[in-house]
Structure 1
Amino acid sequence: MENKRRQFLKLGSLACLGIAGGGSLKGLSPVENIFPSPPENLSAVNNFSAMENNNQNNASLSIIGQYGDWAAGLRKDKLPSLSFRKQEFANLDAWRKTAKKQVTDRMAVPFIGNKPAINMVKQYDYDGLHIEELNWQLPYGRATEAIVLKPVNAKGKLPAILAFHDHGGNKFFGTKKITKTSDRQLALMADHQKEYYEGFAWANEMAKRGYVVLVADAFTFASRKVMLQDVPEKMRYGLTDPDLQNADGIAAYNKWAGEHEHIMAKSLFSAGTTWPGVFFAEDKIALDVLCEREDVDASRIGCGGLSGGGLRTVFMGGLDPRIKCAVCVGFMTTWKDFVLHKSFTHTWMVYVPLLPNELDFPEILGLRAPLATLVLNDEQDDLYTLPEMKAADKILRDVYAKAGAANHFNCSYYPGPHKFDEKMQAEAFAWFDKWLKK
């Protein structure tokens, strides 16, 4: 099972990066082009695994060959220009104001309007929770679908969590990855939760502890996904948009959507924005929705998620002070790790051009200091190297220590591959309780 999961992660990563190359798609179906036949797939996975092992055993090797040392050394071991670790930054508030402005400028966060009208689709009770299915229309794309969960018969204003779903190489689904709203759960989502969450719908488990939990589909996922019918026919490669019961069609869509990511990223850059900028703009709307609910205490809001959800936590937690407690799971390393070892394992959703000159990756999350922050890492996570996960840990500890809030930050390591299992969830939930419950 673990080997199968690792192969899925790597193949999903290759799909997300479009490693087959857009130009090679001509005349081939997406399945044939993006992934060869199964034996070749396994060979490719083994080759990449061998390459990773060699990279980590020989520091002179990098994923960009002899250019690695040069690229990683462009800053000549100097701290990024806006790092709070630099001696010249003594005033935390002044530094944060300057650094946040630079980050949002680099992200080119688009203005997408104020909080839209919220439509209640339906509400019902399930497994001790009251569940609301909502949607709202942004100025572009199809309506964003969201799920709100809270304990049945809850009274008064509750603390709340903005819960972020993962990427997982599966863009056909969003909110369903971390929720369960019926005993008739889709088999694909039951399998997904078993692989990544030890069988738990963690948003449900969080709500059962006395929280209002909001989960919304992210940009390009589920209700916000790019539909095949909406792109030129020559780009569909004979595929049509599948329904929920068509597992093979969903798999083919996910492979197509992975290959489409480099196209979306280039188009966003050409439009003068970035993928993290769009994520943040849309997640900020979801946070507005959560904060303005009558059953929510807006002074006690947290956010968190695994993998792609961890990435969104870095930006939302770092940039919006309404997030009083942030839990980043399975997405913490340094820009150096991406340069030398791991950019090929990551989606185009990660990158903000030029920002590494001003802040290292963990310092984006560090913008929230002294607010409570927890990072959870998996020691055998194929998406990062352990030395750089530990380097990121030290950076955040240094930032929090300088901010006079060392006990407001913690980082833990768990054995095993990329996941947010029951033990990790227990630590995350306890951390939220510590900082958000009166």
Structure 2
Amino acid sequence: MKPGNPTGQNADNNRREFLKTSLTAMAIPFSFNLDAISNSVPMENMVSENVQLPGKSIIGDYGNWAASLLKPVPPLSFRDPGWKDLGTWKKEAYAKAQELIASPPKSPLPKVNVDKKYVYDGLDIEEISWQLPYGHKTQAVVLKPQGATKPLPAILGLHDHAGKKYFGYRKIVKTSDDQHPLLKEHQVTDYSGLAWANEVAKRGYVVLVHDAFTFGSRRVRFEDVQGLSWGEVDTAGKSDQDPEKKENIEAYNEWSIAHEHVMSKSLFCAGTTWPGVFLAEDQIALDILEQRSDVDPQRIGCGGLSGGGLRTVYLGGMDARIKCAVCVGFMTTWTDLILNKSVTHTWMTYTPLLPNYLDFPEILGLRVPLPTLVQNNNQDELYTLPEMKKADKVLGDVFAKAGAKDKYLGKFYDGEHKFDAVMQKDAFDWFDKWLKNS
């Protein structure tokens, strides 16, 4: 569902649907009353158009003041003329980012269980799982060309958010002809009907896709939560023995989106951040991928759309084992989020205080001079086009100053929030260029 400018009853219905299934799932207030939210504040006032009106913002007349607190060139930006040496800058900027992202202590490498092996879609597929010291076990899938024996380059596929937290890795893979209708619909809407992890695996990669923190097998079960009341969704689906039933999945997705602000505040109180937990768990998956005998550990990339693009920003920026990164549909500036678009984004985006030191694109820029592709959509409703363009220039300037202009590419495509077939081809060609041919 893409937000537009409808009127009348259809507008109310569309606004409610947008609030339920926003592509990156904004956090919803504690009382969780969608009708009250959508009727009290018109969506056209909540989500600004791509032209910012002077003096107006999503936080009213506080917007310009809040934006003015950011320095045009933050002190740890490599764009600052004071930074001459790439190595010295990277050391200091990385240390500050690591401090503020505040990942929890890294768990020991877990035992990996191979739960099932089979062939589908011309691929050898393994369903695997591992248990971290906290939460439900992580489920994942590994795909590679059928019959491949020698070590191959590898991709850590990072799945999206999409307001669909019941699902995780299943959103970007296809492992049988019997695919859930909601997954089919999602892949048609966002991926040209393709399971992109399958498609890149067919080009000669080992691809691992795992359920991220709070998604799929790692989701918070609302029956385990105590001390909160979420109205009718408290009991939705409990009496039904089929958790894959459409109504039960939608009830869970609704509940889990509303729970995000609770989780985020609890993580802050624990001394960590949502990006920090993502980073720690994605690095465990990266550990597992690079230690496989069928993987060349010197040729590993990562990428993903939307929430997967967000995770690419943090993982690609903070872990040099990612030799090639493709961030899709998640690039803008902190200013854009202050004035226009924090309302369209999940609590998973933010690292408090980091904007004092780096602009948002510069988190990904910490990986310079390693190859980096950012793919943007001109009509992406989650960002404003001018700020996407500014973010592209920021990254371009960082890579140019480091003498690595050829290692960065920012591309813009017509259309709304998506990773369609054309974008996938460009992304896979970029992986091939740097992980196969370089």
Scaled by the length of structure 1, the TM-score of the pair is 0.92
Question: What is the rounded CA distance, in whole Å, between the counterparts of 1:129 and 1:417 in structure 2?
Answer: 31
Query: After the TM superposition, which residues 82-231 of structure 1 pair with which residues of structure 2 at under 5 Å, given as runs?
Result: 82-231=76-225
Aligned residue type for 2:93: A
Where structure 1 has 5 or more consecutive residues not aligned to the other structure, the ranges are: 26-32
Structure 2 CA distance for partners of 1:51 and 1:239, relative to 1, 3 Å: closer
1:238 maps to what in 2?
235
Q: Percent identity?
A: 56
| Corresponding residue of 1:424 | 423
Superposition map of 1:266-345 within 5 A? 266-345=265-344
Q: Contact between 2:26 and 2:343, CA under 8 Å: does it hold in 1?
A: yes
Instruction: Measure the CA separation in 2 of the matches of 1:125 and 1:402.
Output: 47
Residue deviations 1:10-47 (CA, integer Å, cap 9, x gap)? 5423994333x21x35xxxxxxx2x229xx96x789x3
User: Residue 54 of structure 2 aligns with which residue?
Assistant: 59
Q: Which amino acid aligns with 2:246?
A: A
Q: CA deviation at 1:51?
A: 5.3
What CA RMSD, in Å, does the superposition of the two structures yield over aligned residues? 2.1
Query: What amino acid maps onto 1:220 in structure 2?
Result: T
- Asked if 1:361 is matched to 2:360, the reply is yes
Quote how far apart the aligned CAs of 1:48 are.
Answer: 1.6
Which amino acid in 2 is paired with 1:13?
S
Supply the AA of the counterpart residue of 1:327: V
Contact 1:377 1:412 (8 Å CA) reproduced: yes
Shift of 1:235: 3.2
CA distance in 1, matches of 2:48, 2:349: 24
Supply the distance in 2 between the matched residues of 1:15 and 1:137 (Cα, whole angstroms).
Answer: 27
- More moved, 260-269 vs 79-88: 79-88
Q: Indicate the residue corresponding to 2:27 in structure 1.
A: 18
Larger helix fraction of residues: 1
Q: Which amino acid is 2:174 matched to?
A: K
**Aligned partner letter, 2:345:** H
* Runs (5+) with no aligned partner, structure 2: 5-12
Q: Cα gap change, 1:417/1:54 in structure 2, threshold over 3 Å: closer, same or farther?
A: closer
Tell me the residue number matched to 1:28: none
Query: Could you tell me which residue of structure 2 aligns to residue 409 of structure 1?
Result: 408
Q: How far 1:94 moved relative to its partner?
A: 1.4
The code of the aligned residue for 1:122 comes to K
Name the residue aligned to 2:63.
Answer: 68
Aligned to 1:435: 434
Give the number of aligned pairs: 423
C-alpha spacing 1:317/1:190, structure 2 compared with 1 (3 Å): same
On the 8 A contact 2:50/2:384 being kept in 1, the answer is no
Secondary structure, aligned partner of 2:340 = helix
Determine if contact 1:112/1:139 at 8 Å carries over to the other structure: no
Q: Give 3-state SS (helix, strand or coil) of 2:139's partner.
A: strand
Cα offsets for 1:68-116 (capped at 9, x unmatched): 11000013x4411100001111111111111111111001111132211
Residues 300-348 of structure 1: CA distance to partner in whole angstroms, max 9, x if unpaired?
0000000000000000000100101000000000000000000011000
- Contact conserved, 1:379 with 1:415, CA < 8 A, in 2? yes
Give the drift of 1:155.
Answer: 2.3
Change (3 A) 1:182 1:70: same
**Which segment is superposed worse, 65-74 or 230-239?**
230-239
> Do the aligned partners of residues 282 and 297 (structure 1) sit closer, same or farther apart at CA in structure 2, a change above 3 Å counting?
same
Paired letter, 2:350: Y
> Is the 8 Å Cα contact of residues 301 and 325 (structure 2) preserved in structure 1?
yes
Whether the 8 Å CA contact 1:228–1:239 is kept in 2: the answer is: no
TM-aligned CA deviation for residue 60 of structure 1: 2.0
8 Å Cα contact 1:15/1:255 also seen in 2: no
Assess if the C-alpha contact under 8 Å between 2:24 and 2:307 holds in 1: no
Partner secondary structure for residue 410 of structure 2? strand
What is the DSSP-based 3-state SS (H/G/I as helix, E as strand, rest coil) of the residue aligned with 2:66?
helix
Q: Is the 8 A contact 1:16 1:261 kept in 2?
A: no
CA distances 1:233-272 after superposition (whole Å, capped 9, x unpaired): 7535323557443111111111110010000000000000
Q: In structure 2, what is the Cα distance between the partners aligned to 1:125 and 1:54?
A: 47
2:47–2:343 CA contact under 8 A, matched in 1: no
1:50 positional shift: 5.5
CA deviation string 1:261-310 (max 9, x = no partner)? 00000000000000000000000000000000000000000000000000
